[in-house]
Amino acid sequence: MKIEFDPHPFIDNPRVIETTEEMDNFFSRCATEDVIAVDIESAGFYRYYGRVNLIQIASRKEAAIIDPQKIEDFSAFQNFANASSCLWLFHGGDYDISMLAKDLGIYIPRMFDTRKAAEITGMTELGLRALTEKYLGFTLDKRLQRCDWSKRPLTRAMKEYGLLDAVCLIPVYDCLKSELETLNRMDWVMEECDYIARHAKEFQEQEADPYAFRIKGASKLSLRSQAILKEIWSLREKIAAKLDRAPFMLLSNQALIEIARQVPRTVSGMLVIKSVNRDFLNRYGSELQVAIKAGMKAPLTDLERPFKPKEKEFLLTAWEGELAKSLREIRDSIAEKLNIPPAVLAPMHSIYDLAKIRPNTVGLLLQSEILHEWQTQILAEGFLDILRQEPPKTAKSKRRRRKR
């Protein structure tokens, strides 16, 4: 299915919303919309803190850019998201809706992920560019994908690039919806999207990794050099956080490894290392020396990530391994008939969990929540035949007679 779609009426005069009042008015005009498309941009590649730097939003009638760097009060957006019955469209929406929730307190109740939908229809090319080529007949220009979205003022090219992604989502959604309804798979996608939305609402910040300083090449260093690496890595993190700059842009990982290996005693000694940023040395050379000295005196303990053996409850026995193999073969066969990736139908970690727990009825299978409901409906019959098998009885070992 391919439709004619002209995005220019939406993007030729891109509108940027910079006040709470403008945002409130926009959502008032969206009150009766059935779908609203959203895309966000973040400057996480350039900045230390991942933030929502731009929100592109489109209805069937209009599109606009919302600038979070100019607006502090997002209650109009929050209230509309809570009260509206519209379906929110995203592409690869896991990250976007998590960022909206974490950064701006905006929780999306009902969403449709065009990437997830494309996967469940059987497509192998899942990027938005591939979808616009297939359904709309034009190619998205992705040259600005890695630009710094925190910079202001926004150029016209940045505005058009940002808006185009959101504007295209609505006609792409219409095409995917038609295909999914033909395949009787719309419920599958909506269930998957419900899980994505629920996960975003339950989002929790991960604890800082105390061994994050163990970057590529750290394992080849001596323990003393690893202690130095830990100190200079911590200094770089501290400066990056203060400046809100990506750490690697201040001092590369390779530079950290070389400093830790060579242990230069002076700033001029650091200048010899080619990978070291000269501007960084000019500003923070003395602090870097202090960090190196601290590493020279630091205890040589707690430098390597402790080994964590797998807990016995997560290890499969030989028989459970055979069950997992049989389950995988059934899954692969059904996935091939449905023309969808096997991992979409049941990821391997789910198959291992089923082989370990062995729920032997449809009710127990659903209750385990290892598979989603639509996956259970497809796989239950074949899986239960395997999961109802009884484990082999352990044979009594015959005692050997001792030779006299």
DSSP 351-398: HHHHHHH---SHHHHHHHTSS-HHHHHHHHHHHHHHHTPPPPPPPPPP
Per 3-state DSSP, the chain is made up of helix, strand and coil in percentages (nearest 5) of 55, 5, 40
> Does residue 331 contact residue 354 with C-beta atoms inside 8 Å?
no
Q: Annotate 103-119 with b (16+ C-beta within 10 A) or e (fewer).
A: bbebebbebbbbbbbbb
What are the residues facing 36 on neighbouring strands?
Answer: 88
Separation between Cα atoms, residue 180 and residue 185, nearest integer Å? 5
264 closest CA partner among 276, 252, 254, 248: 276
Separation between Cα atoms, residue 84 and residue 109, nearest integer Å? 9
CATH 3.30.420.10 region(s) of the chain?
8-201
Tell me phi and psi for residue 87, to 5 degrees.
-100, 125
CATH 1.10.150.80 region(s) of the chain?
218-297, 313-387
Q: Decide if domain 218-297 falls under CATH 1.10.150.80.
A: yes
What are the residues facing 112 on neighbouring strands?
Answer: 89
Q: Give me the helices (H) in 207-266, please.
A: 223-243, 247-250, 253-262
Question: What pLDDT, on the 0 to 100 scale, is given for residue 275?
Answer: 86
The domain 313-387: what is its CATH number?
A: 1.10.150.80
Question: What pLDDT, on the 0 to 100 scale, is given for residue 402?
Answer: 45
Other CB atoms within a 10 A radius of the CB of residue 46 amount to: 17
Amino acid at 108: I
Place of tokens 């997560």: 314
Place of tokens 């400057």: 43
Question: What pLDDT, on the 0 to 100 scale, is given for residue 394?
Answer: 67
Question: What pLDDT, on the 0 to 100 scale, is given for residue 391?
Answer: 87
Three-state SS for 35?
strand
Question: What pLDDT, on the 0 to 100 scale, is given for residue 29?
Answer: 96
* Dihedral sign from CA coordinates of 19, 22, 24, 30: negative
Query: Which pLDDT tens digits describe the chain residue by residue (404 residues)?
Result: 788 888 999 999 899 999 999 999 999 999 999 999 999 999 988 999 989 999 999 999 999 999 999 999 999 999 999 999 999 999 999 999 999 999 999 999 999 999 999 999 999 999 999 999 999 998 888 888 889 999 999 999 999 999 999 999 999 999 999 999 999 999 999 999 999 999 887 766 778 899 999 999 999 999 999 999 999 999 999 999 999 999 999 999 999 999 999 999 898 888 888 888 899 999 999 999 999 999 999 999 999 888 776 665 568 999 999 999 999 999 999 999 999 999 999 999 999 999 999 999 999 999 999 999 999 999 999 999 999 999 887 645 454 454 54
Separation between Cα atoms, residue 173 and residue 118, nearest integer Å? 10
| pTM: predicted TM-score of the whole model, two decimal places | 0.89
The class that CATH gives domain 8-201 is alpha beta
82 φψ region: left (φ > 0), alpha (ψ -120 to 50), beta (else): alpha
